[in-house]
Amino acid sequence: MTEADDFAVNGLCVRLGGREVVRDVSFSLPRGCIAAMVGPSGAGKTTLLRALAGLVPSRGRILIGGEDVGRMPVRRRARHLAYVPQGEAVHWPLPVQDVVALGRYPHGSADPRRLGAGDIEAVDRALDEVELRPMKDRRVTELSGGERRRVAIARALSTGAPILLADEPIASLDPYFQLSVMALLQRQARAGALVIVVTHDIGLAARFADQILMLRDGHLAAMGPPNAVLAPPSLAEVFSIDAYRSSHEAQPVLVPWAMR
C-alpha cells in the first residue's frame, strides 16, 4: 500500500432536515480491502455512503490518493468511485445490457449503439460477474427484485472504478447470490479495489470483510477487523443482541441469536 492508494475521510458531517445525521466521521482505508459498514437502522450508513459518493452535501474532507474528491470534476470522480444505491436503480424498460452500459458514461460512452470494444468488454465482464449475461436483452422492469440488484451491481462494476461503494447490495438476494455477490466484492478487493459495503448481515460481514466500520447515532463507534469489532460487548451495546460465535472452514461464523 502506498499513501496515494488511500481513501481518507476527515471530520465528515452531514446535516439532513436540520439534524446532524453523520457526525465527525474519520477513517482511512487502503485499496485491496473490503470493508463492511454496519450499524442499527437509522445509524447513518446510507447517508454516510451517499456523502462518500458525493451525492449529498457534507462538511469535512474526502481524499482519494490525497486528492480532494469535492474538487474533482464529476466525470473524473465517477471514474474513481462507483456507487450501488439502495433499492431499485432503474424504472425505465431498458434492456439489461443498456443499463449496465450506463456505467461507461464517465468514460465518454453512454449511447449503447456507440460503445467501443473496451466498453463492450467491460459490460460483458460485469454481466458475467453477476451471472446475468443470458438475460442481457431482457428489460430490467421485467426482472425480479434480486435480478435488478445484480443489474445495479453490474452497472457499478462496468465503470472499472477502483473504489466501489455498495448500499445493501445483498438485501433482496437469495442465499446463493448473497454469497456470490459477497465473494464477487471480495474478488474486486483482492484485485486491487477498495470496496465499502453497507449490510445488515453481520454474519456475512464477519465472513467476507477485512474491516468493519460500525456506525451508531451518526458516528463511527468502532473500526477494525471483524473479530475485534463484532465482539460480544459491541454487539450488545450497539445492536442490543447476543450472537452465536464459532468457526467453520477457518472462517468466522456469527449468527444473531437473542435480543438483549
Ligand X SMILES: Nc1ncnc2c1ncn2[C@@H]1O[C@H](COP(=O)(O)OP(=O)(O)OP(=O)(O)O)[C@@H](O)[C@H]1O
Q: Which residues are at the interface with ligand X (CB under 6 A)?
A: 16-17, 21, 39, 41-47
For residue 121, the tally of other CB atoms under 10 A from its CB is: 12
Residue 109 exposure: Cα atoms within 13 Å on the Cβ side = 20
For residue 194, the minimal CB distance to ligand X (Å) is 20
For residue 151, the minimal CB distance to ligand X (Å) is 21
Element (H, E) at 68: strand 67-68
Task: Determine the residue with CB nearest ligand X.
Answer: 17
Residue number, 102 or 222, with CB nearest to ligand X: 222
Residue number, 25 or 126, with CB nearest to ligand X: 25
Quick check: 131 and 150 in contact, CB under 8 A? yes
For residue 205, the minimal CB distance to ligand X (Å) is 13
For residue 46, the minimal CB distance to ligand X (Å) is 3
Residue number, 27 or 105, with CB nearest to ligand X: 27
State how far the Cα of 230 lies from the Cα of 203, in Å rounded to an integer.
9
For residue 156, the minimal CB distance to ligand X (Å) is 18
Residue with cell 438476494: 173
Q: What residues contact 130, with CB distance under 8 A and at least 6 apart?
A: 150, 151, 153, 154, 157, 180, 181, 184
Residue number, 111 or 237, with CB nearest to ligand X: 237
Residue number, 45 or 77, with CB nearest to ligand X: 45
Quick check: 167 and 46 in contact, CB under 8 A? yes
Q: Is 77 helix (H, G, I), strand (E, B) or coil?
A: helix
State how far the Cα of 250 lies from the Cα of 246, in Å rounded to an integer.
10
Beta bridge partners of 83: 165
Residue number, 21 or 115, with CB nearest to ligand X: 21
For residue 124, the minimal CB distance to ligand X (Å) is 32
CA torsion through residues 174, 55, 60, 74, sign: positive
Cell of 36: 463492511
